[in-house]
């Protein structure tokens, strides 16, 4: 048994106010993207221009915290320079690391910015230590973010055999599909995570009151229908209700969020380097609450892992911030699979 190490808390920053809020509430690292399709949260009104990015980097680094920049879509042919310019900008800003998925962009990063620290994005779909060690060998990545598909035992196995640090998702919206391997959104709307940095984009959403209830469509495909009084959630494709053999249900996944707070002692024990909070599209209030709770939990767990207990107040507040007010342990928890 090794002594528990420190586990970094990595928090989302969709905007400069969210970045400052995350730092003020105890984030060890914040991550953000630029205002275009070079990152996987390419949503209207979100993300950083060069000026906001410079101020964010200053704000965090003055306080001894780190800044990671997500450049985690796949560079599109004919526009490769948009991705390399974004990477050059991140390097010029002196960020602590960039989070990449595209091997073409990684190659550029290694050649042009040999001192820049590279993290492998969850969008890289690396689910085994062999895949991660591939990126270590060819691009000297310093950390890999695991897709949300492995059980706790599988995560431990990866941590034990990967030649680099491992970051896992702790809290937030749940991708039930392997990140980087999901084209449901581009199939339906023409825009998806890999190429444009969006999923189920707002511009393809259409709400309509009908005699059968409130209907929501993505580019004409009916994703769900809500009776009066039902809480109508955002029409993320994999969280709609569909019909399979005359049975209408959440055929792929319920609207729910991942919450692994109760697994913290195990994550710490197995040597996970960092826990990521999802939610760059969420408000500063969300960032404040989630960061504060996870900071308190990590500090309590680090001080006395054997006595760590999840507080009801934490779980209640996190559930209120979750999709459908439900949380799950996701793939970490065997029965979910």
Of the candidates 9, 75, 87, 268, which one interacts with other proteins according to CB under 8 A? 75
Q: Is 114 in the site for other proteins (CB under 8 A)?
A: no
DSSP 14: S
Applying CB under 8 A, among 61, 128, 266, 283 the residue interacting with other proteins is: 128
Among 97, 150, 258, 298, binds other proteins (CB under 8 A): 150
Near other proteins by CB under 8 A: residue from 87, 176, 267, 298: 176
Contact 334, 298 (CB under 8 A): no
In the list 93, 184, 319, 329, the residue contacting other proteins (rule: CB under 8 A) is: 184
Query: Residue 248 Cβ, how far from other proteins at the closest point, in Å?
Result: 6
Q: What is the nearest approach in angstroms of other proteins to the Cβ of residue 245?
A: 7
Under the binding rule (CB under 8 A), the answer on residue 70 touching other proteins is: no
In the complex, the smallest distance separating the C-beta of residue 213 from other proteins, rounded to whole angstroms, is 9
* Strand-by-strand arrangement of the 221-226 sheet: 205-210, 213-218, 221-226
Between 13 and 158, whose beta carbon lies closer to other proteins? 158
The correct pick among 93, 140, 214, 222 for binding other proteins (CB under 8 A) is 222
DSSP 205-272: EEEEEETTEEEEEETTEEEEEE-TTS------GGGS-EEETTEEE-SS--S-EEE-GGGHHHHHHHT-
Mode of pairing for the β-strands spanning 213-218 and 221-226: antiparallel
Helical (H) or strand (E) element with 83: helix 80-93
Question: Any contact of residue 194 with other proteins (CB under 8 A)?
Answer: yes
Tell which one of 41, 225, 239, 276 touches other proteins (CB under 8 A): 225
Please say whether the beta carbons of 120 and 143 come within 8 A.
yes
Question: Tokens at residue 143, please?
Answer: 């950390």
Question: For residues 143 and 239, what is the distance between their CA atoms, to the nearest angstrom?
Answer: 30
d(CA 86, CA 181): 24
- Which structure tokens are listed for 85? 């310019």
Using CB under 8 A as the binding rule, whether residue 36 contacts other proteins is answered as no
Site for other proteins (CB under 8 A): how many residues? 70
Residue 152: other Cβ atoms inside 10 A:
18
- Rg value, the chain, Cα: 20
DSSP H or E segment with residue 303:
helix 284-303
The residue (of 82 and 295) whose beta carbon lies closer to other proteins is 82
Q: Does 252 bind other proteins (CB under 8 A)?
A: yes
Report the residue from 23, 100, 177, 273 that binds other proteins according to the rule CB under 8 A.
177
Does position 297 bind other proteins by CB under 8 A? no
Task: Provide the mask over 155-174, with x wherever binding to other proteins is found by CB under 8 A and - wherever it is not.
Answer: --x-----------------
Q: Residue 207, interface with other proteins (CB under 8 A)?
A: no
């Amino acid at each position: 048994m090794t002594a528990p190490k420190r586990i970094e808390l990595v928090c989302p920053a969709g905007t400069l106010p969210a970045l400052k809020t995350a730092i003020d509430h105890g984030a060890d690292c914040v991550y953000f993207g630029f205002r275009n399709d070079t990152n996987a949260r390419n949503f209207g009104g979100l993300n950083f221009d060069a000026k906001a990015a410079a101020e964010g980097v200053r704000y965090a680094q003055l306080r001894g915290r780190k800044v990671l920049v997500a450049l985690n879509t796949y560079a599109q042919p004919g526009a490769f320079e948009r991705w390399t310019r974004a990477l050059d900008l991140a390097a010029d800003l002196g960020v602590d690391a960039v989070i990449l998925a595209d091997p073409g962009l990684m190659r550029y990063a290694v050649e042009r910015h040999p001192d820049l620290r590279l993290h492998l994005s969850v969008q890289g779909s690396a689910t085994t230590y062999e895949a991660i060690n591939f990126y270590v060998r060819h691009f000297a990545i310093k950390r890999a973010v695991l897709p949300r598909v492995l059980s706790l035992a599988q995560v431990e196995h990866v941590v034990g055999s990967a030649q680099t640090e491992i970051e896992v998702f702790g809290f937030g919206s749940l991708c039930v599909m392997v990140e980087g391997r999901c084209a449901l959104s581009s199939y339906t709307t023409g825009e998806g995570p890999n190429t444009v940095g969006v999923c189920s984009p707002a511009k393809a959403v259409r709400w309509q009151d009908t005699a059968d209830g409130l209907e929501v469509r993505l580019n004409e495909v009916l994703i769900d229908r809500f009776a009066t009084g039902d809480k109508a959630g955002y029409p993320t494709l994999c969280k709609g209700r569909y019909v399979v053999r005359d049975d209408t249900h959440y055929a792929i996944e319920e609207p729910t969020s991942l919450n692994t707070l109760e697994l913290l002692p195990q994550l710490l024990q197995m040597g996970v380097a960092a826990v990521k909070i999802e939610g760059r599209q969420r408000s500063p209030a969300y960032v404040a609450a989630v960061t504060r709770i996870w900071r308190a939990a990590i500090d309590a767990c680090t001080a006395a892992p054997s006595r760590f207990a999840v507080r009801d107040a934490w779980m209640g507040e996190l559930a209120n911030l979750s999709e459908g007010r439900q949380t799950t342990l996701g793939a970490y928890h065997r029965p979910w699979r």
